[in-house]
C-alpha cells in the first residue's frame, strides 16, 4: 500500500512521533499505529501462534511506547491489548485475529473518535 505521493506506508512516520500526539489526540494516533503494527506482523506469512506471539510483543511494545512518551498520562498505564486467533466463519474459513482491549482503554479510544468526528462535522 502506498500513499498518494507514493511513499510506502511502512516509511511514513509513526503517530507517536507526531508533536500533537498528546491527550485525546494520542488515541487517534494510537489506533492508526496499532493497525499498522498488527498488519506489519500478520499480513504476510502464515497466521499461526508464532506469528501471533510476535505481533503481541510488538503491540505490547507500542503500548509501552505511548506510556514512555506520556502521550496521555495515566491513560495507557496498566492497559492491555490482547491478540488471539478465532476460528473463521464457515467450513474451511481461515482463522481471524481478534483484539481484546481493557475496557478503560477501549472507552477512551471510542470517546476520542467520537470527539474527532464531531469536530470534523462542525468544520463543514
Averaged pLDDT of the chain: 87
- Interior CA angle at 12 toward 6 and 17, to 5°? 160
Summarize the confidence of residues 15-22 as an average pLDDT: 95
Mean pLDDT of 29-58: 93
Say if residues 54 and 7 touch (Cβ distance below 8 Å).
no
Whole-prediction pTM: 0.82
Query: What's the pLDDT at 124?
Result: 66
SS3 48: coil
Is the Cα dihedral 108, 106, 111, 19 positive or negative?
positive
User: Do 103 and 17 meet the contact criterion of CB atoms below 8 Å apart?
Assistant: no
Amino acid at each position: 500500500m502506498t500513499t498518494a505521493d507514493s511513499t510506502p506506508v511502512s516509511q511514513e512516520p509513526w503517530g507517536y512521533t507526531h508533536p500533537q500526539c498528546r491527550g485525546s489526540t494520542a488515541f487517534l494516533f494510537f489506533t492508526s499505529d496499532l493497525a499498522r503494527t498488527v498488519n506489519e506482523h500478520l499480513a504476510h506469512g502464515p497466521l499461526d501462534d508464532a506469528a501471533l506471539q510476535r505481533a503481541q510483543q510488538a503491540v505490547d511494545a507500542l503500548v509501552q511506547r505511548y506510556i514512555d512518551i506520556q502521550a496521555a498520562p495515566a491513560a495507557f498505564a496498566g492497559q492491555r491489548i490482547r491478540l488471539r486467533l478465532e476460528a473463521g466463519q464457515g467450513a474451511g474459513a481461515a482463522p481471524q485475529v481478534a483484539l481484546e482491549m481493557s475496557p478503560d482503554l477501549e472507552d477512551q479510544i471510542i470517546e476520542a473518535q467520537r470527539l474527532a468526528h464531531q469536530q470534523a462535522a462542525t468544520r463543514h
